Amino acid sequence: MNDEIWKAYTHGIAAALGEGGVHIPSLLLQSYSRLGMTDSEAMLLLQIMLYAQTERNDFPTPEELADRMGIQARAVGMMLGRLMKEGFLSIDDYVDDATGLQAERYNWSGWLMKAAEWRASEKRQTKKSERSPQPASTEIRKTSEASATDLFSVFEQELGRLLSPYECEIISGWLDQDRYSEEIILFALKEAVFAGKLSLRYIDRILVEWSRNRVTTVEEARAQAGKFYGGGRA
């Protein structure tokens, strides 16, 4: 390697190091696929970390992330929704010290917690020296992912636009926290379309009303629909 090439090489390394970087615990890279995360989802989380740690952007838009990764914004929105549904990612509200305004930022501590739990589980299994195969959950996970993906897709089709990360979190909360079935959520969406009030807030009102009346099936929801609309639904 001659002097000119060596100088160019060293200048390139110095420039790359000067750009800064992201500290990534090795455990995250060791465990992400074992936790059911795809390569694209892991890269998406790393890009979110990069924005926060080196670019002071705690809440990059799906369009910004899509441009960085060279994929469609819709694909980013779907991945964000699944990561939040599975507990790898969440959105925190906070007050910006500089502006005094309320803002949002991504929180990936869920990924760290899941990775730590995975490591602890691996150590326990090693100590016990268990050779019996553990129940495989791959197919179950695939089915769950497909179901959630389809649900987000239906909402996007009805709304005529991509869901925001916040909206994905709301829908995921209906499934994971409120324990509404997918069928009930879709029927509530149908009722909102019928009423001409297509918003997640209105759909949430419908779901809460049904929950108060202990409605758990579409048939029961259909029976309650007339009461919810004040007798206006046949």
- Is residue 165 located within the same domain as residue 98? no
Tell me whether residue 132 is in a domain: no
Asked if residue 5 belongs to a domain, the reply is no
Total domains in the chain come to 2
The verdict on 111 and 196 lying in the same domain is: no
DSSP string computed for 78-138: HHHHHHHHTTS-EEEEEE-TTT--EEEEEE-HHHHHHHHHHHHHHHHHHHHT--SPPPP-H
> In terms of domains, do 100 and 146 share one?
no
Residue 208's SS3 state is helix
Q: What is the pLDDT at residue 152? A: 84
Domain extent at residue 214: 141-228
So what's the pLDDT on residue 98?
83
Residues 156 and 73 in one domain: no
Last residue of a domain, one of 118, 152, 172: 118
Query: Given this model, what pLDDT does residue 129 score?
Result: 56
Please check whether residue 209 is in contact with residue 195, taking contact to mean a CB–CB distance below 8 angstroms.
no
Does some domain include residue 7?
no
Domain annotation covers residue 63: yes
| Domain-embedded: residue 221 | yes
- On whether both 218 and 149 belong to a single domain, the answer is yes
- Positive or negative, the CA dihedral 125, 128, 130, 136 is negative
Per-residue pLDDT of the chain (234 residues; tens, 9 = 90+): 555 654 554 454 444 445 567 778 888 999 999 999 999 999 999 999 999 988 889 999 999 999 999 999 999 999 999 999 999 999 999 998 888 899 999 999 999 899 888 888 887 777 665 444 444 444 434 444 545 557 888 888 888 888 787 787 788 889 888 889 999 999 999 999 988 888 999 999 999 999 988 998 999 988 877 665 554 454
**Cβ-count burial of 123 within 10 angstroms (0-12 exposed, 13-18 middle, 19+ buried)?**
exposed
Q: Which residue has the tokens 């929180």?
A: 107
pTM: 0.52
> Is residue 180 included in any domain, yes or no?
yes
Those residues with Cβ within 8 angstroms of residue 185's Cβ, 6 or more apart along the chain or in another chain: 151, 171, 174, 175, 203, 207
CATH of the domain at 185: 1.10.10.630
